[in-house]
Amino acid sequence: MDTNQSIPVTATAQNAAGTIRVRATDEGLPIDLRIDPRELRFGAAQLAEAIVALNRRAALDAAILRREQLSAQGVPSDVLDRMGMPTRDDLPDLEHDEGGYGTHPTWMHRPL
């Protein structure tokens, strides 16, 4: 096993009803999706919108966890800031962002 390889940090986000749950890496890659069949009645567009929003939230949460891990390993805060690593203070910005999607970059926003 390569000890230099980074272990993915993940987090899970779910809607208020708990009927949609997304687990994503700190880079925004969704790795698990759970959808209650009752959500299908709202249509594809609304479901997709909810999945994307939850994926972004999970990715932000995971990136914050990654920052905390790096900080615990001795990486200075100013270096983490220059790397663009989010902090817990960034969470309220996600809730106030138009559409609630946040601005944390994910694999979905990278140019092909």
pLDDT tens per residue, range 8-17: 899 999 999 9
44 contacts 57 by C-beta, under 8 angstroms: no
Q: Tokens 């203070």 appear where?
A: 89
How far apart, in Å, are the Cα atoms of 22 and each of 1, 36, 53, 55, 89? 28, 12, 9, 6, 22
Q: Taking the domains of the chain in order of start, what are their residue ranges?
A: 10-109
CA angle 64, 95, 62 (to 5 degrees): 20
> What residue type is assigned to position 15 of the chain?
N
Assigned CATH topology for domain 10-109: Ybab; Chain: A; (3.30.1310)
Q: What pTM does this model have?
A: 0.77
Chain centre distance of CA 107 = 11
Q: If the chain, 112 residues long, is cut into consecutive pieces of 10 residues, what is the mean pLDDT of each piece? A: 70 95 96 96 94 96 96 96 92 51 44 42
pLDDT digits (tens, 9 = 90+) for 86-98: 999 888 554 454 4
- Alpha carbon 3 to its chain's center: 25
